[in-house]
A and B are shown apart, each in its own frame.
Chain A
Amino acid sequence: MAYKYFEHEADVGIIGLGTTLAKAFEEAAKAVFNTEVEIKTVKPKQKIYIECSAENEEELFIEWINKLLAEADINDVVFSKFKIESMKNFRIKAYAFGEKLDQKKHKIKTEVKGATYSMLEIGKKNKHYFAKCVIDV
């Protein structure tokens, strides 16, 4: 549905919003990659399978973001679209879509080191799910 940013003294706060928790996670992922590049400039040409798990919802969110960052690094890609196929028992199976990172073509911004537990919150407010945390840049 949408992603937003919130103020943080040293790093970047991200929020994903959606009609389901999975959609909120997908939106939050967009917020992360839009911190690295202008995601509008990234075409969803390549598809990479993502799987991760954790012991609770909050940790799963951090795992999800960190797994995406790691896969982007390993495959030299940057993602702009996400599709969570299944999310149950604190396990995500998903696809991330993007293309080879090109410093000339994609408007690059700041590298993200990882998602942190700072300001980490998952919940539902006014019929919408949200997932937020601070990412270390």
Chain B
Amino acid sequence: MIKIPEEPKLTSLKEIEPYTWQLPKHGEMKVPGIIYGDKEIINHLLEDVKLGKEWNALKQVYNVATLPGIQKASLAMPDVHPGYGFAIGGVGAFDTKTGVISVAGVGFDINCGVRCLRTSLTKEDIVKNQEQLAQTLFDIIPAGLGSKGDIKLNFEEIDEVLVKGAEFCIERKYGTKEDLEFIEENGKINGADPKSVSDLAKRRQFKQIGTLGSGNHYLEVQYVDEIYDEKAAKTYGITKKGQILIAIHCGSRALGHQIGTDYLKELAAASRKYKIPIREKELVCAPFKSPEGQKYFSAVNAGINCAFANRQALVHLTRIAFEKAMKTPHKDIKTLYEIGHNTCKLEEHDGKQLIVHRKGSTRAFGPGRKEIPEAYSSIGQPVIVGGTMGTHSFILHGTKKGMEKTFGSACHGAGRLMSRNEAKRKWRGTELLKDLKAKGITIKGHSMAGIAEEAPGAYKDVTDVVNVMHNAGIAKKVVKVKPLVVIKG
């Protein structure tokens, strides 16, 4: 008798703990789905299902739960929204022996992430010189379509970037060894063979190291608005309200995009070869141990290193801008931490080697993990959560509970609520700039349409997203920061 697969019952969610919802294991699922959210977030997901939307995040949580070797649960963080194959905010951990590696679980912008810098400047220092600082940053930081970095590379040098990551920049005096200490993987992940990356991907990156990009990428000068946990804040070098931090949000640029494009094809073939059902065109994968899986893993590592180098080059340019506009010596701008939120990494959880995919999700390791800088070991790693342009952002810390429940993962941002076109119809870039100026925020961008697409109202409220993580105990709030200067592509 032919077994007819059971239809996914996507509305069968139940709250198993406060802010923790389970999609019970059924149909083809190998594990249950777990979604973190408040009522509003969950209702939004259910509404998409009820409206019969093809593009829906719960379906994607279900699909990931059906993949071979998945461990514990197919997870979604509270900033969850539909992505390509994997939901954004999705986390999937797979056994390295029996599990898979998936292009969809990493996404097109490999190791997109945030570098956070701390200074001893105060809000008052910036306000006195805000316009000049904004203009200097805008002049120095290459951003927007077609911008080029100062570092021009050839094939040999790009291969070096792909292996060395941020170290490539440090060797060229674009920053200090101390920066490396406070980057995940110390700014250089092992296992990157440049041969796994196509020449086309490399050529696209020749002029793009040290560029911000566009879309939701930004550089923000922020001040500490609220401190929730003084001890943790102090450990991270944040001592008072009004202290200035700088956040740089960007990724692996064109190289990462091209790796995604190239391997979407390769892993589609691998899915067919290894008879892994393809439930959505982008949800292609290969057994982690297979030659195809290992090659993609190597390419991801190369992409991760490229993003590390890119952000390090931008940090250097930021220091130059602050020196010029504010007379701040380079050494007074220190790296607080750098996180990536589009990655898959080999990690040990409960004594087992797993390949953990985080697609629009931040690693949020709790206290004592060996991967965290020694200075932060007692608190857990900083979890940098970017808000939307002109609102506010948060720094949280990882927890022991997060290690148990989410493989040490948390949300990465606010999560889109409205399409780009809808945002453009609703807001005009120039008016947004005026409104934000009235709130004391200076925005410099290359594209007015781009600014309208990123309007604060087009996103969920990041506070609600962060509160879910905090109340569920996955990551705890340390500080809230507000922007003064925003540079956009």
A103 to B142 alpha-carbon distance, docked (Å):
11
CB-based contact A74/B282 at 8 Å: no
A48 at the binding interface (Cβ < 8 Å) = no
Question: Which B residues are closer than 8 A to A by beta carbons?
Answer: 54-55, 81-84, 88, 108-109, 144-148, 200, 203-204, 206-208, 213-215, 254, 257-258, 260-261, 264-265, 281-282, 416, 418-422, 446-447, 449-450, 453, 489
Task: Kindly specify which of A16-24, A81-89, A106-114, A123-131 makes contact with the partner chain.
Answer: A106-114
Q: How close is A29's CB to chain B, nearest CB, in angstroms?
A: 16
Known: A73-B208, A117-B281. 14 other contacts (CB 8 A): A7-B422, A8-B55, A10-B88, A70-B204, A73-B204, A74-B203, A76-B146, A103-B145, A109-B145, A109-B447, A110-B214, A110-B450, A113-B109, A114-B260
Question: Which A residues are closer than 8 A to B by beta carbons?
Answer: 5, 7-12, 36-37, 59, 66, 70, 73-74, 76, 78, 101-103, 108-111, 113-114, 116-120, 136-137
CB-based contact B257/A110 at 8 Å: no
Closest to B281 in A: A117
The residue among A7, A10, A12, A66 with the most chain B CB atoms within 10 A of its own CB is A10
Candidates A9, A12, A73; contact of B55 at CB < 8 Å: A9
A102 to B147 alpha-carbon distance, docked (Å):
9
Closest to A12 in B: B420
- B265 surroundings in chain A (CB, below 8 A): 59
- A113 surroundings in chain B (CB, below 8 A): 108-109, 215, 257, 260
Q: A9-B81, A70-B200, A76-B146 are in contact. Are A114 and B261 (CB under 8 A)?
A: yes
Q: Which 3 A-B pairs have the closest CB atoms?
A: A117-B281, A101-B146, A111-B214
Closest to A38 in B: B449
A119 to B54 alpha-carbon distance, docked (Å):
9
CB-based contact A110/B215 at 8 Å: yes
- B258 surroundings in chain A (CB, below 8 A): 70, 114
A8 to B83 alpha-carbon distance, docked (Å):
11
What is the total of A-B residue contacts with beta carbons within 8 Å? 102
A68 to B26 alpha-carbon distance, docked (Å):
43
CB-based contact A9/B281 at 8 Å: no
A66 to B84 alpha-carbon distance, docked (Å):
16
Candidates A10, A111, A116; contact of B419 at CB < 8 Å: A10
Candidates A37, A74, A119; contact of B204 at CB < 8 Å: A74
A78 to B146 alpha-carbon distance, docked (Å):
9
Closest to B55 in A: A9
CB-based contact B145/A37 at 8 Å: yes
CB-based contact B84/A118 at 8 Å: yes
Q: How close is A69's CB to chain B, nearest CB, in angstroms?
A: 8
Closest to B415 in A: A10
A120 to B416 alpha-carbon distance, docked (Å):
22
The residue among A11, A37, A110, A116 with the most chain B CB atoms within 10 A of its own CB is A110
Q: A101-B145, A103-B145, A136-B108 are in contact. Are A114 and B257 (CB under 8 A)?
A: yes
A66 to B83 alpha-carbon distance, docked (Å):
19
CB-based contact B489/A111 at 8 Å: yes
CB-based contact B421/A7 at 8 Å: yes
CB-based contact A118/B55 at 8 Å: yes
Closest to A6 in B: B421
CB-based contact A10/B82 at 8 Å: yes
- 18 A-B Cβ contacts within 8 A? A8-B420, A9-B82, A9-B418, A37-B145, A66-B261, A74-B206, A101-B145, A108-B144, A108-B145, A108-B146, A108-B447, A110-B449, A111-B489, A114-B257, A114-B260, A117-B264, A119-B55, A136-B84
CB-based contact B82/A110 at 8 Å: no
Closest to A78 in B: B146
Q: A117-B281, A118-B281 are in contact. Are A9 and B145 (CB under 8 A)?
A: no
